[in-house]
Amino acid sequence: MTSTISRLALAAFALSASILSAQPAFAAVACGSGSFDAWLADFKTDAAAKGISQQAITAGLAGVTLDQSVLNRDKSQKVFTQTFEEFSGRMVPPRMQRGSNMMKQYGSVLSRIEQAYGVPGEVLVAIWGLETDFGVNTGKFATIRSLATLAYDCRRAEQFRAELMDALRIVQRGDLAPAEMKGAWAGELGQTQFMPSSWLKYAVDFDGNGKRDLLHNAPDVLASTANYLAGYGWQKGKDWQPGSPNFAVLQQWNKSEVYSKTVAYFATQLARAP
């Protein structure tokens, strides 16, 4: 998220980690049928059948209610119409100095991450800045409540049902307690806004403290973001400009060409900064 165009607004054209790519589908228990409480009870049964512990189910879903504000946001998304020049001009200059400072502050960490995953620090810091202002604005929505709301709704029920299952798996694995899971309205978590499915697949404990923490731990945040990009085929030592294979990887992070071009531009500016 950012101070002027938040991560939530960016959801109008692409949610992080291609959240808008799936098509609507019926969940195992019909979406939108009956009361939310009845749907949630059925979901808990399904979660247990899929191997999620009763402890994680109870901790994650106890007292969860429908969040109408999430549905309102989902249904009122507007088409993103800014050009690259408009968007990058609005987003990059206010973040250049902080981004340059982050490059210096985390220089040794970023160097080790590049050795491990092949992704340059400039790219990671650019994503970090654009997503949440370097961790300042990660979102205040209760993640599990948001995901349950969107899974109950019929627009993208199956997609969000799977994300809700993965959110409970994060709880079961011990990465986060449910109360810690706060983020954007559509379920993105952490300082670079991972969906739960991406968290499970790509989150790493880079500082070796025994916990994958993408909410508070910058080394874990940056390394996990690099792991995501590497997982989609980032080529070490190659550039990231539009038309390159690495730019195609940036578009796996966010499908919007305007957003991906802004990441590439911001990263290039950081590489040139003194």
Active-site positions? Answer: 131
The single-letter code of the amino acid at 212 is R
Centre a 10 Å sphere on the Cβ of residue 142 and count the other Cβ atoms it contains.
19
- Asked if residue 141 lies in contact with residue 185, where contact means CB atoms within 8 angstroms, the answer is yes
Question: Is 11 in contact with 186 (CB distance < 8 Å)?
Answer: yes
Separation of alpha carbons 11 and 20, rounded Å: 8
Cα angle 47-53-54, degrees, rounded to a multiple of 5: 85
**Burial zone of 168 (CB within 10 Å; 0-12 exposed, 13-18 middle, 19+ buried):** buried
State the Cα–Cα distance between residues 58 and 135, nearest whole angstrom.
29
Quick one: tokens of 45? 């049964």
